[in-house]
Amino acid sequence: MSDPDCLFCKIVAGEIPAEIVHEGERTIAFRDISPQAPTHVLVVPRDHEPNAAATAHTDAATFAEIALTARAVATAEGYDDYRLVFNTGAGVGQTVFHTHGHVLAGRPMGWPPG
């Protein structure tokens, strides 16, 4: 399932280049083009859903793989501590409407975020 107009669907399909750092059965992970931390990787499902809530509702196994992939990416980058962020909706900063988690590591992060 893909959306022909979706940037991340095009990356998953190999139509747009990206620096891929991990591939799983249901997910692919690539470096963010505008990193907000020394490690900033996006983990996206191969199938198109508009946001994290939709993926969690329709495909719990894929949602779990996103979290497992995030851990694998952080570990491969040399980090035990990392932040995994999902933006769900334009009002909180989602700009690409294909589910994706941001794996951020390598610098101190405050709380609350934002």
pLDDT in tens, 25-48: 999 999 999 999 999 999 999 999
Q: How confident is the model at residue 2 (pLDDT cuts 50, 70, 90)?
A: confident
CATH code for residues 7-105: 3.30.428.10
Catalytic residues: 100
Q: What is the pTM of this model?
A: 0.95
> 45, 99 in Cβ contact below 8 A?
yes
Distances (CA, A) of 52 to 47, 56, 65, 85: 12, 6, 12, 10
Q: Taking Cα atoms as reference points, which of 41, 106, 34, 38 lies closest to residue 70?
A: 41
